[in-house]
A and B are shown apart, each in its own frame.
Chain A
Amino acid sequence: MSEVKVLTEFYHLPEYQTLAGYKAKGGYETLHKAFKMQPQQIIDEVKASGLRGRGGAGFPTGMKWGFLPKNGEPRYLLCNADEGEPGTFKDRMMMERAPHQLIEGMIISAFAIGSNKGYIYVRGEYVFPIECLNKAIKEAYAAGLLGKNILGSGFDFDLDVYRGAGAYICGEETGMISSLEGLKGQPKLKPPFPAVQGYLRKPTIVNNVETLAAVTYIIKDGAQVYRKHGTEKSAGTKLFSLSGNVMTPGNFEVPLGYPLMDLLMKEGGGMKPGRKLKAVIPGGSSAPVLTAEEVAKANLDYESLAGLGTMLGSGAVIVIDDSQCMVDMLGVLTHFYAHESCGQCTPCREGTGWLNKVLHSILEGRGRLQDIDLLIKVADNMKGKTICALSDAAALPVLSFVTKFRDEFEFYVREGRSKVKGTTYAEMHH
């Protein structure tokens, strides 16, 4: 088994970025098909495909669409292209290589849910993807694929790109809605859920780039064809961003259920010469880390990874070899989450900062042995206690790193230097 290119079949073709190149490979043909279907038929097809949100939460897409009120109220479709999770870079490739694929997926999805207005919310740092999207949207408008009465279907859909100011939490759907509304990017309390009350307090569906792109393929070939890939509970293919200590990092599309070790060894080209696999973060930096032994048992699907106490998340697989210091790595992660906490909920606002300080006390040689347990206690009391999942995102790596690699933390506290690298924090970084 190896890569199965459903979404990414033509990504190697430079012309695929353009409307002509995209159309040459059958682009927008599915849209014609979709307009001949009833919106509910599309929703039913997406439900039947078993497509789960590819942004990280893995919520069933068709079910999410089904939460929209049936009262004909105006509703919005938001594409989540914020992609702030460290290690994740799949959406970037999709927007750069196949912007029309996303646009087509959004038009079909908007038609299905009855939305006439969509936004693609892109993280501010993604300058080139934003250029690609804007160019493609302009082409689509010129070709009558966006705007009024698309392809004579009677359906109107306007689409804009919104450039975020750069905050991790704006990738959380309600944080994104706040940001889009011009407010500080802070998550909102749920309920009400966005499907009921979202952007501008109107029903809103937020889906990831990859999810929306996949909708086209589900409508094109039908749910059953899509379901041929993947497992019973994790249908279809998925893009994985492979990074870290492997020979050939990159984005790879494989069917869900694909063995993690195969991704590392086949697609990733294996470990660097002389190095051994130590651990893998399988679903973006917020996913609990797996040891090398656990990696050997893991498949890339929602249920297998959940069984190992971690998660598929955004599909960002970060590989760690035996040259890496887990204390130092966790220091980087806690610093990131302390920086990115929106500051709204107290356990997250203060807890992320606290974790960061304790970890850096250890890294800088001021740690106490009780600090190791303190890290666990603080993280434990942040988990599940806040409006959004950033607190969990910060806590889970701490819990898994400290629990699974405790010897490295104890050594660091006792010796004031890294067990793996043999050096102090200052020596490691300066």
Chain B
Amino acid sequence: MPKCTINGKEVEVKEGTSIIEAMQQSGDRIAHYCWHPGLSVAGVCRLCVVEIEGNPRVQIACNTMVTEGMKVNNTSEKVKDAVKWGLDFHLINHPLDCPICDQAGECGLQDQYMEYGKYDPEMAEAKVKKHKVVDLGPTVVLDSERCILCSRCVRFTEEVSKTNELGLFNRGDRTEIGTHDGMLLDNKYSLNTVDICPVGALTSKDFRFRQRVWYLKDGDSVCNGCSTGCNIKVYYNKEGLFRIKPVYNEQVNGHWMCDSGRNAYKFVNREARLVKGVVAGKEMAPGAAAKSASEVLKSTSGDALALVLTAQYTVEEYEAIIKTFVEEFKTKKVFFWVNNKETFDTFDGLLSRGDKNPNTKGLLKVMEKYGITSTWADLSAGLANGSIKTVVVAGPENQAVFPDYNERLKELSKAQNLIWMQAGKNDALTALTGNVWIIPMKTFVEKDGTFINFSGLEQKIKKVTNVVSEALTLTEATLLMVGKNLALPTANAAFMPNNQRDDQVTLEARKKNEFVFRRGSL
């Protein structure tokens, strides 16, 4: 464990720690672009320079390992000057199109220039023009002029996705990134390149020009796209959710997440959601719809009542509903609707798992606790012979990962009474006639709870915002179905994060962003 001194403070680090990592450990700020903790060291931006006692030249902190007794500083005039010039080198051919750049508000170049920049720029020559609006593939667009050639994206495709679509082409100040001949940036993790691009060179086709980031709020959550449970940040405002980005968690997802997980925001937005409850073809408030189901549940309790659960709800919700069914309604006919059985146990080697549910382990744990042993065959038989009269379904939140949805809907609708709880709209569902209850449910960003991922890791989710405020959690629906009352929120509270005024913009990324300038009041 070598000890070094960084800006006068003694720091003890693990063997093999680079100076830049040691500085992060000691809380010292350092300019950098190309270094990324999840990628190999490129050492090309030359911004993370430090002075090391006994060394006449400044050195880069990303490729210099800490040795015992090393004395490092990055506050000397020599270092500051080197960084200022380094930033000017970055800027001389970078267009000043911040007002129309999609990265504005989150741009590392802007932020670092504010903190370390050379405020008396001397470049008077014409800038090198490069390609604009380069279509790299289905998800990402490149503006080559803005690229500062940090090579993070290239290294990502080489080292993380291992798809090698990107490369650096040409030489000198004509260098550009691009895709190799005949290739597109088309892999399951392509949008991570946008996350790690420190400027507005790589932008997400899905997100670009849809919102200015300063009009967005954000909140932490856990992706419900598969059983990995990637830690995420959800970006939203009154208009809805706009994007999802990964949050570092060494135990779960490291720095990355898959593209399909990023699409989770789409089925959360209001246009994709069930807003009104429906009972026998008649629209009503979700709470009223749930409560109206209490009579039929009481009358068909016992073995005539079945509960079908998908693994897309929280542990707490499972606890509430299974306990109720076992103890109040006296039935152990609880069934796990396993989607995509054939691919359930697959894994792509990085993050994405074939089990496209966030909480399979959570569901199984609660089922085990209540001694549930029912199989789908029992349900099918019960429906076929008419012994099961009422079926309650906690349907999928993300219908796209349930390829057997229509088939199951058809099978379950054989019941005399079908109580279907679900977050998203579905034409086949709303087209059902007869004794059908449709109850709108909340999504994972609208509630608190616990997901247990594939490895058994319990992760808490917190409510980020309300999108359909009148929708119910499974717990709330359970209480109402038992006949209890709830104080339900009104629609007026929509899109309000917890304990926050709507004029407060708290972009967490900006507060914690390593690049952000700590300046005084203006």
Residues in B with CB closer than 8 Å to A357 are 125-126
The majority secondary structure among interface residues of chain A is helix
Q: Is A338 an interface residue (CB 8 A)?
A: yes
Residues of B within 8 A of A344 (CB): 42, 44, 149, 151, 168, 175
A354, B92: Cβ atoms closer than 8 Å: yes
By the criterion CB–CB under 8 Å, are A361 and B171 in contact? Answer: no
Return the contact of A338 from the options B49, B124, B151, B172 (Cβ within 8 A).
B172
User: B68 contacts the other chain (Cβ, under 8 Å)?
Assistant: no
Decide if A189 touches B41 in the complex (CB within 8 Å).
Answer: yes
Does B90 lie within 8 Å of A346, measured CB to CB?
A: yes
> Inside 8 A of B183's CB, which chain A residues have their CB?
none
The reply to whether A386 and B46 form a contact with Cβ atoms under 8 Å apart is yes
A346 contacts across to B, CB distance below 8 A:
44-47, 86, 89-90, 148-149
Name A109-139 residues within 8 Å CB distance of B.
none
B170/A343 in contact, CB under 8 A: yes
Q: Is the CB of A341 within 8 A of B172?
A: yes
Residue-wise interface mask of A (184-211) relative to B, using a CB-CB cutoff of 8 A (1 in contact, 0 not)? 1010010100000000000000000000
CA distance A189 to B40 in the complex (A): 11
- Note all chain B residues with C-beta closer than 8 A to A63: none
**Given the complex of chains A and B, what is the CA–CA distance between A370 and B123 in angstroms?**
11
Chain B residue, CB-CB nearest to A373? B122
Give residues of chain B (360-407) contacting chain A, Cβ–Cβ below 8 Å.
none
B63 CB within 8 Å of chain A: yes
Residue A163 is within 8 A (CB to CB) of chain B in the complex: no
How far is B124's CA from A186's CA once the two chains are assembled, in angstroms? 29
B85 beta carbon closer than 8 Å to chain A: yes
**Which residues of A from 320 to 363 have beta carbons under 8 Å from B?**
338-347, 349-354, 357-358, 361
Overall SS of chain B's interface? loop
**Contact among B63, B85, B168, B173 with A381 in the assembled complex (CB-CB below 8 Å):** B85
- Min CB–CB distance B159 → chain A (angstroms): 14
Asked if B89 contacts A377 (CB within 8 A), the reply is no
- Chain B residues whose C-beta falls within 8 Å of the C-beta of A25 in the assembled complex: none
Are B171 and A340 in touch, CB under 8 angstroms? yes
B89 close to A189 (CB less than 8 A): no
- Closest beta carbon of chain A to B85's beta carbon, Å: 4
Minimum CB–CB distance for B245 against chain A, Å: 26
B residues in contact with A353, CB < 8 Å? 92-93, 128, 172-173
Q: Is the CB of A349 within 8 A of B172?
A: yes
- A349 pairs with B173, CB closer than 8 A: yes
- At the interface, yes or no: B281 with Cβ under 8 Å from chain A? no
Total number of A residues with any Cβ neighbor in B under 8 Å:
34
Q: How far is the CA of A387 from the CA of B43 in the complex (A)?
A: 7
Chain A residues with CB under 8 Å of B93's CB are 350, 353
Contact of B63 among A189, A339, A340, A361 (CB under 8 A): A189
Cβ B172 vs Cβ A385 within 8 A: no
Chain B, interface size: which category?
35 or more
A contact residues around B125 at 8 Å (CB): 354, 357-358, 361
Does A420 touch B at the CB level, under 8 Å? no
Decide if B57 touches A384 in the complex (CB within 8 Å): yes
Considering the complex, give the chain B residue whose CB is closest to the CB of A168. B171
Q: How far is the CB of B384 from chain A (nearest CB, A)?
A: 63
A354-397: CB near B (< 8 Å → 1, else 0) gives 10011001000000101100100100010011110000000000
Name A343's contact: one of B43, B85, B122, B172 (CB within 8 Å). Answer: B172
Check B274 for interface membership: any CB of A closer than 8 A: no
Residue of B nearest to A383 (CB): B57
Q: Which residue of B lies closest to A390 (CB)?
A: B172
State A358–B122 Cα separation when bound (angstroms). Answer: 11
CB contacts (< 8 Å) of A352 on chain B: these are 172-173
A246 CB within 8 Å of chain B: no
In the complex, which residues of chain A have a beta carbon less than 8 angstroms from the beta carbon of B85? 347, 381
Inter-chain contacts of A351 with B (CB < 8 A): 89
Contact with A along B82-108 (1 / 0, CB 8 A): 100110011011000000000000000
Question: Does A167 count as interface, using CB distance less than 8 angstroms?
Answer: yes
- Whether B171 pairs with A341 at a CB distance below 8 angstroms is yes
**What's the Cα separation between A386 and B86 when bound, in Å?**
11
Neighbouring A residues of B484 by C-beta, 8 Å: none
A354 touches B123 (CB 8 A): yes
* Residue of A184, A345, A352, A370 most packed against chain B (CB within 10 A): A345
A358 to B128 Cα, complex, angstroms: 13
Judging by beta carbons under 8 Å apart, are B148 and A343 in contact?
A: no
Residues of A contacting B168 in the complex (Cβ-Cβ under 8 angstroms) = 184, 186, 343-344
CA distance A350 to B172 in the complex (A): 7
| Interface residue from A338, A374, A384 paired with B173 (Cβ < 8 Å) | A338
Closest residue of A by beta carbon distance from B56: A384
Q: Residues of A contacting B171 with CB < 8 Å?
A: 167, 339-343
Tell me whether B137 is interfacial, beta carbon within 8 Å: no
Residues of B within 8 A of A354 (CB): 89, 92, 123, 125, 173
Residues of A within 8 A of B82 (CB): 381, 385
Q: Which residue of B lies closest to A185 (CB)?
A: B171
- The smallest C-beta distance from A392 to any residue of chain B, in angstroms, reads 11
CB A344 to nearest CB in B, in angstroms, measures 5
Q: Is the CB of B167 closer than 8 A to any CB of chain A?
A: yes
Q: How far is the CB of A37 from chain B (nearest CB, A)?
A: 38
B174 at the interface (CB under 8 A from A): yes
Interface residues of B in 151-179 (CB under 8 A from A): 151, 167-168, 170-175
Least CB distance, B58 to chain A, in whole angstroms: 8
Chain A residue at minimum C-beta to C-beta distance from B62: A189
Closest to A169 in B: B171
What 1/0 flags go to B111-151 for Cβ under 8 Å of A?
00000000000111110100000000000000000001101
Per-position contact with A for B17-48: 1 when CB-CB < 8 Å, else 0?
A: 00000000000000000000000011111110
Q: Give B61 Cβ to nearest chain A Cβ, in Å.
A: 13
Considering only CB atoms, which chain B residue lies closest to A354 in the complex?
B92
* Chain A proximity of B43: nearest CB distance (Å): 5
- What residue in chain A is nearest B90 (Cβ atoms)? A346
Residues of chain A contacted by B122 (CB below 8 angstroms): 370, 374, 377
Say how far A288's CB is from chain B's closest CB, in angstroms. Answer: 18
| Chain A residues in 8 Å Cβ range of B124 | 361, 368, 371
Q: For the complex, give the distance between the alpha carbons of A345 and B151 in Å.
A: 10
Least Cβ–Cβ distance between A199 and chain B, in angstroms: 18
| Complex interface: chain B residues within 8 A of A342 (CB) | 171-172, 175
Given known contacts A184-B168, A385-B86, A343 and B123 CB-to-CB distance under 8 angstroms: no
Given contacts A386-B46, A387-B43, A349 and B128 within 8 Å (CB-CB):
no
Contact status of A349 and B149, CB under 8 A, knowing A339-B172, A344-B44, A354-B92: yes
Question: Shortest distance in angstroms between A247's beta carbon and chain B's nearest beta carbon?
Answer: 36
B-side contacts of A191, CB under 8 Å: 63
Which one of B90, B151, B172 has the greatest number of beta carbons of chain A within 10 Å? B172
**A340 and B172 within 8 A (CB):** yes
B173 A343 Cβ-Cβ under 8 A: yes
Looking at B41, B58, B123, B173, the one whose CB has the most chain A CB atoms below 10 A away is B173
Residues from chain B with Cβ under 8 Å of A339 in the complex: 171-172
Do residues B172 and A184 form an inter-chain contact, with CB atoms below 8 A? no
Q: Which residues from chain B contact A371 at a C-beta distance below 8 Å?
A: 124
Contacting residues, chain B, for A350 (C-beta < 8 A): 89-90, 92-93, 173
Inter-chain CA distance A351–B85, complex, in Å, is: 10
Q: Is the CB of B44 within 8 A of A387?
A: yes
Q: How far is the CA of A354 from the CA of B58 in the complex (A)?
A: 22
Task: Give chain B residues whose Cβ lies under 8 Å from the Cβ of A358.
Answer: 125
A313 to B41, CA, bound (A): 30
Residues of A within 8 A of B126 (CB): 357
Closest to B43 in A: A189
Shortest 9 CB-CB contacts between residues of A and residues of B: A343-B175, A353-B173, A381-B85, A357-B125, A341-B172, A350-B89, A189-B43, A346-B89, A384-B57
| Known interface pairs A349-B172, A350-B90; 7 further A-B residue pairs with C-beta atoms within 8 A, sorted by A's residue number | A342-B175, A347-B86, A347-B89, A349-B175, A353-B173, A357-B126, A361-B124
Could you list 7 A-B pairs, sorted by A, with CB under 8 Å? A167-B171, A184-B167, A339-B172, A343-B174, A345-B44, A346-B47, A381-B81
Binding site for A on B (CB under 8 A): 41-47, 49, 57-58, 63, 81-82, 85-86, 89-90, 92-93, 122-126, 128, 148-149, 151, 167-168, 170-175
